[in-house]
């Protein structure tokens, strides 16, 4: 049986196939992406670790999508662990969720999860204070991961999709720098880029896009770079957003892939 699914209208819609960039509740973050452990033993959903209620604790919190209490997707089985004495720090703002109830159809059972897919919005705009479209391109809806980059490169153009500010892009302006959230919370070796990152965009996918390649119904190839973490301000001025790159994620959870 070949199944087809309607393309969701926006980042707030119920998404099947489930793909990066859509809202997840109830903390209203953004789904990052679906990936596979390098061993192939299990797949999982990836988002920011701070999107669950308890920082640094795998509290079996149930992710929902879009926001309905009945639309369960899976529960948190990994959250980052604080490692610093006299404060709280870690290498990656990353949380992993099972996909036990991600795609389920009453008549045929579980529907396979699609790995490495991000929904393509109708407009891509430059940050750090831009508001991109939140509607999904119905003609060319797919951004499919075809490569993985280990970390940000200075001045490189990078993109992110989030449920609050949509599809925005900017240039990397810091690499492997400390991300200080307050006096007690910090993340080591994070990358920073001048895309928009607002409340609710946490957990969204960060990637390299190739805009000179014409889109097609099969999707544009993108290179996965990391997971969006937070808005970045300096002297009360918005500079962009910080993200946990692939290397930092792997330092926490081990190797992963999308195919």
Task: Output the domain CATH number for residue 57.
Answer: 2.40.10
Report the alpha-carbon angle 240-161-157, nearest 5: 55
55 pLDDT above the threshold of 80:
no
Q: Are residues 105 and 217 in the same domain?
A: no
Query: Which of 79, 110, 141 is the endpoint of a domain?
Result: 110
Let me know if residue 200 belongs to a domain: yes
| Contact status, residue 206 vs residue 223, Cβ threshold 8 Å | no
Q: What is the pTM of this model?
A: 0.92
Q: Domain ends where: 110, 126, 158?
A: 110
What would the pLDDT profile of 228-259 be if each residue is shown by its tens digit?
A: 999 998 888 999 999 999 999 999 899 999 99
Q: What is the mean pLDDT of residues 17-40?
A: 88
* Domain-located, residue 255: no
Whether residue 105 sits in one domain with residue 123 = no
Facing residues of 20 across strands?
A: 118
| Residue 193 and residue 84 in one domain | no
* 105 and 121 inside one domain: no
- Indicate if the pLDDT at residue 83 is higher than 50: yes
Asked if residue 11 belongs to a domain, the reply is no
Q: Of 110, 138, 171, which closes a domain?
A: 110
CATH number at residue 141: 2.40.10.10
Q: Are residues 161 and 67 in the same domain?
A: no
Query: Which is higher by pLDDT, 196 or 108?
Result: 196
- Residue 110's pLDDT is what? 56
* Residue 62 sits in the same domain as residue 28: yes
Say if residue 73 is in the same domain as residue 135: no
217 assigned to some structural domain: yes
Looking at the structure, tell me whether residues 185 and 89 fall in a common domain: no
Is 139 a member of any domain?
yes
* Pairing label, strands 166-180, 157-162: antiparallel
211 domain-assigned: yes
Query: What mean pLDDT comes out for the span 49-66?
Result: 79
Number of domains in the chain: 2
8 within some domain = no
Calpha distance 242→231 (Å, rounded): 6
Integer CA distances (angstroms), 91 to 20, 79, 82, 243, 248, in order: 22, 12, 9, 11, 6
Q: What span, in angstroms and rounded, lies between the C-alpha atoms of 52 and 70?
A: 18
Is the model more confident about 113 or about 128?
Answer: 128
**pLDDT band at residue 219 under the 50/70/90 scheme:** confident
Same domain, 103 and 197: no
Lowest mean per-residue pLDDT among 31-40, 96-105, 106-115, 190-199 = 106-115
Q: pLDDT tens digits, residue range 102-112?
A: 555 555 455 56
Residue 147 has pLDDT above 80, yes or no: yes
- Looking at residue 242, its pLDDT comes to 97
Q: Give yes or no for residue 146 having a pLDDT over 70.
A: yes
Asked whether the beta carbons of 49 and 233 are under 8 A apart, the reply is no
Predicted local distance difference test score (pLDDT) of residue 109? 53
What is the pLDDT averaged over residues 155-173?
Answer: 97
pLDDT score of 108: 47
Q: Which domain holds residue 174?
A: 117-246
Q: Are residues 31 and 106 in the same domain?
A: yes
> Is 69 contained in some domain?
yes
Measured distance CA(159)–CA(120) in Å, rounded: 11
Q: Are residues 76 and 146 in the same domain?
A: no
Q: Tell me, what's the pLDDT at 1?
A: 47
Q: What is the pLDDT of residue 104?
A: 53
- 157 plus 239 within the same structural domain: yes
């Amino acid at each position: 049986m070949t199944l087809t699914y309607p393309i969701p209208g926006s980042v707030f819609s119920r998404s099947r196939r489930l793909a990066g960039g859509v809202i997840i509740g109830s903390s209203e973050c953004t789904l990052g992406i679906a990936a596979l452990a390098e061993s192939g033993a299990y797949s999982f959903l990836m988002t920011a670790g701070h999107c669950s209620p308890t920082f640094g604790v795998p509290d079996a919190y149930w992710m929902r999508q879009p926001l309905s209490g009945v639309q369960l997707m899976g529960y948190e089985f990994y959250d980052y662990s604080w490692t610093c004495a006299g404060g709280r720090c870690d290498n990656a703002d990353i949380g992993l969720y099972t996909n036990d109830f991600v795609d389920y159809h009453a008549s045929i059972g579980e529907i396979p999860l699609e790995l490495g897919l991000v929904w393509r919005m109708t407009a891509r705009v430059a940050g750090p204070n831009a508001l991109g479209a939140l509607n999904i391109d119905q003609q060319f809806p797919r951004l499919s991961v075809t490569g993985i980059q280990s970390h940000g490169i200075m001045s490189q153009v990078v993109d992110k999709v989030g449920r609050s500010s949509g599809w925005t892009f900017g240039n990397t302006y810091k690499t492997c720098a400390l991300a200080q959230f307050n006096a007690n919370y910090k993340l080591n070796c994070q990358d920073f880029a001048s895309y928009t990152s607002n409340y609710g965009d946490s957990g969204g996918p960060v990637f390299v896009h190739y805009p000179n390649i014409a889109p097609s119904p099969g999707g544009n190839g993108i290179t996965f770079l990391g997971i969006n973490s937070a808005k970045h301000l300096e002297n009360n001025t918005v500079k962009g957003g910080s993200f946990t790159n692939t290397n930092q994620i792997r330092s926490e959870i081990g190797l992963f892939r999308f195919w």
